[in-house]
Amino acid sequence: MGLFTELRDSISRVVDRMFSDAEPKRIGIYGPPNAGKTTLANRIARDWTGDAVGPESHIPHETRRARRKENVEIERNGKTVSIDIVDTPGVTTKVDYKEFLEHDMEKDDAVRRSREATEGVAEAMHWLREDVDGVIYVLDSTEDPFTQVNTMLIGIIESQDLPVLIFANKTDLDDSNVQRISNAFPQHETVPLSALEGNNMDEVYGKIAEYFG
Amino acid sequence: MPEVTPGDSGDGVQIDLISGARMEGLTSMEKIRLILDGVRDGNIVVLEEGLSPDEESKLIEVTMTEISPDEFNGIEIETYPQSGSANQGFLGRLMGKESTKKLTVIGPANQIETLHKDENLISALVSRK
């Protein structure tokens, strides 16, 4: 991409943000499969609107379409922050239908699920390039954060100049290690939480208001 | 010794080492096509200078559209984390300081497995088809 095209795009993004304060920011919830993105999206949506965003599952790629919950109003320190939450399919560079067979799925269903999963990942990447104003990057704190998908996605988010918060999820599990995530991405703020149990949600909402308000 | 041609590599694994100069004049889609054509033939592609974040994003997107059951499961890709990337925002790019130079290894997902990865070392196991 040429310097002038990049310059024009960057200025356009800055101007868009300056004049779009009245509009709710679209916050994309990104991360690898099974990090707890939908559990988090549902927790936020239920806490502030009473509705859920989508079904949760331990089977990877349960979310195969980006889902948006509009006008989620979060109150913090006497002011209200309005955001649209976009729950996105888990990003990966590979999908093998045989993995779904291990979850007691028939071959036809597994193949269909894998096809939908690939479409979902492509859609999530498109949203990231075109349609989100900020990113919540969710990681399973029991897993090694030094994966290629995490490295690439954080790099892609940084290259878009998008504000990003890293959420170290599943702190209710014994082998959770939040420090490992902080060490892997020291340039970003890491917030520990358990979306399933609702642990540390006060800090989560405080940070969302601070970063995306 | 007989000459080995593409597709005639017997039990071996073909490795394509692509220089920065070879990639320099290509558009994003030409780069992605070059990589995926090689990987879909079962080759390991090593890029001297890697891809930009935007190209990596498009590589994931195009890879997803090409995954096909029992034929192509996607890719494994390895690069070192981009150190100091947080400091290369708008001003860095304005000053032309953006750098994407990072050795990148890409292979078929069913043939390459990461054994270890940190800021300075990537160890991978490459197997035959």
Residue A155 has pLDDT above 60, yes or no: yes
Q: Which helix (H) or strand (E) holds A62?
A: none
CA separation for the pair A149, A137 (Å, rounded)? 12
Q: What percent of chain B has pLDDT over 70?
A: 76
- What domains are there in chain B, each with its CATH number? 15-82+92-126 (3.30.110)
CA separation for the pair A56, A38 (Å, rounded)? 6
- What domains are there in chain A, each with its CATH number? 25-54+84-212 (3.40.50.300)
Q: Side-chain half-sphere of A170: how many Cα atoms within 13 Å?
A: 18
Task: Tokens 């949760």: give the residue.
Answer: A56
Interchain CB distance below 8 Å, A148 and B114? yes
Tokens linked to A38: 């939908």
Closest by Cβ to B93, choosing from A6, A91, A96: A6
The predicted pLDDT at position A21 comes to 54
The predicted pLDDT at position A104 comes to 85
pLDDT tens readout for residues B42-85:
999 999 999 999 999 999 999 999 999 989 999 999 887 655 44
For residue A47, the distance in angstroms to the closest alpha carbon of chain B comes to: 32
> 53-112 in A: which are within 8 Å (CB) of B?
91-97, 111
Task: Tokens 């699920």: give the residue.
Answer: A113
State the ipTM, two decimals. 0.83
CA separation for the pair B85, A159 (Å, rounded)? 8
The predicted pLDDT at position B14 comes to 93
Residue B88 has pLDDT above 50, yes or no: no
Question: Of A35-44, A51-60, B22-31, B90-99, where does mean pLDDT reach its minimum?
Answer: B90-99
∠ CA(A84), CA(A86), CA(A90), 5° rounding?
Answer: 165
The predicted pLDDT at position B114 comes to 82
- Count of residues making up chain B: 129
Task: Tokens 């890293």: give the residue.
Answer: A166
- Optimal mutation site among A15, A17, A93, A130, interface B, most CBs of chain B within 10 A: A93
